[in-house]
């Protein structure tokens, strides 16, 4: 299999692929209450274009693709897309990040299409706070999606919780979730760079780790399902684990193995960089040679860490990047 390496000798084998900028929630840390103006359908990659890029990426060294959004399950045909991605030579794994609200409906068909790994964004287990935070969601619907994923046999099932001061400071409900279900809860350090109006919500990675350890967790738990930026902890007797993704100090930049492709066809080399490479024209010309050159350019321009090549504010909301 081909191998891609950037100029800092990091192997790049992971693509986060946003298939839509639309979402059925309006989480206050992710987008304004009125939402973000969606791109016209003509500006969004078609499934044929997504598959064409993915096929070339897989031949070049990408072995894992994670589908993101917006909320990927709001786009029709996502099950067929997963099935077609799994048919690509060189692609070993397809996963998805979702808010879980539609997972009760789609867990079975997605599993049959080949999907095994799913990350579900649930920032609080308090129904009232969940509704306030998401501005329109119901916690039980997300939990039904989690249970559906477990029942059909998906593994690992990870729960992503963006740590927000005064919102989910109490980690005990999540700790109990890992006692009751074989799920892996990851607390993600809030990234004020994307949400300048809410800097007061920030909880440091050090504080999050102290709270996790205060629950009786043991550090050094095995990472569920392979390498990633999270560090894992386990409460004795728990079915699942607790994890921590700290972003503010760039601890995982040295091992960054990913590229990001937005729903409108912009290749991003770093979550924290405004720099984008537009691959949509080459996709629409059906020119694999030009596409390959753009991928090679992305490898050349991928920064050493999140502190390099960044000017001004990040120019997209998180929902427009795909995380």
pTM of the model: 0.90
- From 66-70, 84-88, 190-194, 288-292, the region with the lowest mean pLDDT: 190-194
User: What are the DSSP calls for 149-199, one per residue?
Assistant: HHHHT-S-EEEEEE--TTTS---HHHHHHHHHSSEEEEEEPP-GGG-GGGG
Residue 130, Cβ density class (10 Å: 0-12 exposed, 13-18 middle, ≥19 buried)? buried
Check residue 113 and give its pLDDT: 98
Q: Is the pLDDT of residue 313 over 50?
A: no
Write out the H or E segment, with its range, that includes residue 51: helix 47-60
144 token code pair: 């039904």
Check residue 323 and give its pLDDT: 55
Higher pLDDT, 120 or 320: 120
Q: Is the pLDDT of residue 167 over 60?
A: yes
Q: CB 217: neighbour CB atoms within 10 A?
A: 21
Check residue 228 and give its pLDDT: 72
Dist CA 84 CA 290 (whole Å): 23
Topology (CATH level 3) of domain 14-321: TIM Barrel (3.20.20)
Nearest to 105 by CA among 138, 61, 147: 147
Question: Is the separation of the CB atoms in 94 and 67 below 8 Å?
Answer: yes
What's the gap between Cα 60 and its chain centre?
22
Q: Using CA of residue 201, residue 220, residue 120, residue 257, what is the dihedral sign?
A: positive
Q: What confidence tens digit (pLDDT) does each residue in 298-309 have?
A: 999 999 887 665
Nearest to 291 by CA among 267, 258, 322: 267
Residues 6+ apart with CB under 8 A from 1: 61, 63, 90
Check residue 297 and give its pLDDT: 96
Whose tokens are 């950037």? That residue is: 6
β-strand partners of 159: 120, 185
Dist CA 284 CA 186 (whole Å): 38
- From 36-40, 113-117, 150-154, the region with the lowest mean pLDDT: 36-40
Check residue 320 and give its pLDDT: 60
């Amino acid at each position: 299999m081909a191998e891609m390496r950037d100029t800092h000798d990091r192997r790049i084998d992971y693509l986060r692929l946003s298939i839509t900028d639309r979402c059925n929630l309006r989480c206050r840390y992710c987008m304004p209450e009125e939402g973000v103006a969606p791109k016209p359908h003509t500006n969004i990659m078609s499934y044929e274009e997504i598959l064409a890029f993915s096929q070339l990426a897989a031949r070049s060294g990408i072995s894992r693709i994670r589908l993101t959004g917006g909320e990927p399950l709001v786009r029709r045909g996502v099950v067929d897309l997963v099935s077609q991605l799994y048919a690509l030579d060189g692609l070993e794994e397809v996963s998805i990040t979702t808010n879980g609200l539609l997972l009760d409906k789609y867990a079975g068909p997605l599993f049959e299409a080949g999907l095994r790994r799913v990350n579900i964004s649930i920032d609080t287990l308090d129904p009232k706070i969940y509704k306030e935070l998401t501005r329109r969601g119901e916690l039980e619907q997300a939990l039904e999606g989690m249970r559906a994923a477990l029942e059909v046999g998906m593994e690992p099932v990870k729960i992503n919780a963006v740590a927000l001061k005064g919102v989910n400071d109490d980690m005990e409900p999540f700790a109990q979730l890992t006692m009751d279900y074989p799920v892996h809860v990851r607390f993600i350090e809030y990234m004020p760079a994307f949400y300048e109006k809410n800097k007061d919500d920030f909880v440091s990675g050090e504080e999050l780790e102290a709270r996790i350890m205060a629950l009786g967790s043991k550090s050094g738990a095995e990472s569920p399902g392979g390498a990633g930026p999270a560090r894992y902890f386990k409460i004795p007797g728990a079915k699942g684990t607790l994890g921590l993704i700290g972003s503010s100090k760039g601890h995982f930049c040295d091992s960054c193995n990913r590229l990001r492709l937005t729903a409108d066809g912009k290749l991003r080399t770093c979550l924290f960089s405004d720099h984008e490479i537009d691959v949509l024209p080459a996709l629409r010309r059906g020119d694999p040679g030009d596409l390959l050159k753009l991928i090679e350019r992305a490898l050349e321009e991928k920064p050493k860490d999140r502190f390099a090549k960044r000017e001004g504010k990040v120019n997209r909301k998180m929902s427009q990047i795909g995380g």
